Amino acid sequence: MRILRDVYIIGAGETRYGELWERSLRELAVEAGLRAIENAGVYSRDVEILYGSNSLAGIINGQENIGSLISDFAGIAHNNIPAVRVEASSASGGAALREAYLAIKSGEYDLIMVGGVEKMTDIYGNELLNMMGSILDREWESFFGATPAAMAAIVARKYMKDFNVEKEALSMMSINDHENASKNPMAQYKNKLTLKQAMGATNVAEPLTLMDCSPITDGASAILLASDRYMKKNKLEGAMVLGSGISQDYFAVHNRESIYTLNSAKIAAREALKKAGKKLDDISLVELHDSYSIYGLLELEDLGFAEKGKAKHLVYEDIKAGGRIPVNTSGGLKAKGYPLGAVGISQAVEAYEQVMGKAGQRQLKSVDSVLLHNMAGTGSTSVVHVIGGE
């Protein structure tokens, strides 16, 4: 028997993103969850299972078993509602969304909460960089002094040389993120960024400067996923999860045949678009995983919006909110923020709000479908979702 069940995002909520010194891991998670519950118009006791996504709580906050923690403080452990954590580094959120999507699709559940949380400022400065090293291959990259920024920088240098790309093109990704985040009340940075500021910022890993690198962010985002049956029975509305794709590449950058090709993104996007029955032309908005500006360009190419080496032609006009392929109306990872394990859900919140016409000042005129790309580390895992109207 073929099970045909459509899956909808029926509500979304999140905390403000930023350096939230006074807020704890559990407080952030619960706040986002409660806002999503309220937004969807359901009750938390009706949720059948919670999928939590998080990347580094084990080493940053000294806390594992996050599913139990959040379920308890959300008050639903009292109702014996199960909770698990999905971990795929900075793609944890996308992976959790996909697991929940499959669980509803399979017919097992009708209402699921998916929440992502990362509380990063419990560890300071260079010590946090040690922990970020666990996103890479600890023994064969980080051991020798690699950081996520350093690996992105190595990729950027070769890319810029092979395709004659100026540093300015990378900065344009960050400038676009900041421009869009200035209209997002939840964003970490609402200041606009000038080219001079972006180019002149301090070096992190050459050729990348501080303004090519996403910040350290505390934050949580949550959505409620429901089956079409549940949604209609309760007279709710939602944005449909039209397609989902996931793929993998070699873990360490040095093992990939081309260091500036994100194979995982290519394959996951192809899969998600095919399942959604959509073409790139149907995509009204792309939320990219631009943890480092260079990845924004690589993703535009590997998701299919430009040929390899040609994304530089899109970053000046096309990616703007009013452009041909709007990118990161949320403010993206650079300016909305980069709470590792929450990113995939943060993107889903933006998709939901844009599709439902709830994006306030950021609202795009007509939205068919939104493509979300959530990536682990340097591109080892990619999760792509296509969200749209019916």
Partner 1 sequence: MGELSRFWRESDHRYRLVAHKCGNCDRVYFPPRDVCPTCHRESVGKMEPIDLSGKGEVVSYTVVHEAPTPFTRQKPYILAIIKLDEGPSLTGQIVDSDPEEVDMGKRVHSVFRKVAEDGKSGIIQYGYKFVLD
Contact (Cβ atoms closer than 8 angstroms) between residue 32 and residue 15: yes
* Per-residue contact flags (x/-) with partner 1 for residues 20 to 49, judged by CB under 8 A: ------------------------------
Name which of 7, 113, 120 is nearest 54 in CA terms.
120
Closest approach of Cβ 63 to partner 1, in Å? 19
Which of 4, 62, 144, 366 lies at the binding interface for partner 1 (CB under 8 A)?
144
> Could you give the CA distance from residue 280 to residue 287 in angstroms, rounded to a whole number?
13
Residue closer to partner 1 by CB (options 94, 377) is 377
Exposed / middle / buried, residue 3 (Cβ in 10 Å: 0-12, 13-18, 19+): exposed
Binding to partner 1 by residue 253, rule CB under 8 A? yes
Residue closer to partner 1 by CB (options 8, 159) is 159
Which of 38, 108, 206, 237 lies at the binding interface for partner 1 (CB under 8 A)?
206
Residue closer to partner 1 by CB (options 128, 364) is 128
Binding to partner 1 by residue 145, rule CB under 8 A? yes
Which of 88, 150, 348, 351 lies at the binding interface for partner 1 (CB under 8 A)?
150
Residue located via tokens 């698990």: 84
Which of 75, 82, 207, 323 lies at the binding interface for partner 1 (CB under 8 A)?
207
Closest approach of Cβ 189 to partner 1, in Å? 18
> Could you give the CA distance from residue 143 to residue 137 in angstroms, rounded to a whole number?
8
Binding to partner 1 by residue 204, rule CB under 8 A? yes
Binding to partner 1 by residue 317, rule CB under 8 A? no
Contact (Cβ atoms closer than 8 angstroms) between residue 243 and residue 272: yes
> Could you give the CA distance from residue 202 to residue 177 in angstroms, rounded to a whole number?
19
Coil, helix or strand at residue 7: strand
Name which of 146, 199, 153 is nearest 174 in CA terms.
199
Residue closer to partner 1 by CB (options 59, 280) is 59
Residue closer to partner 1 by CB (options 154, 269) is 154
Give the CA distances from residue 324 to residues 184, 283, 316, 319, 382, in Å, rounded to whole numbers and listed in that order.
21, 10, 11, 7, 24
Binding to partner 1 by residue 155, rule CB under 8 A? yes
Q: Encoding tokens for residue 297?
A: 């360009």
* Per-residue contact flags (x/-) with partner 1 for residues 103 to 142, judged by CB under 8 A: -----------------------xx-xx-xx-----xxxx
Binding to partner 1 by residue 166, rule CB under 8 A? no
Which of 205, 216, 303, 348 lies at the binding interface for partner 1 (CB under 8 A)?
205
Contact (Cβ atoms closer than 8 angstroms) between residue 342 and residue 52: no
Binding to partner 1 by residue 158, rule CB under 8 A? yes
Name which of 288, 278, 273, 360 is nearest 318 in CA terms.
288
Q: What is the contact surface with partner 1 in residues (CB under 8 A)?
A: 126-127, 129-130, 132-133, 139-147, 149-151, 153-155, 157-158, 161, 202-208, 252-255, 259
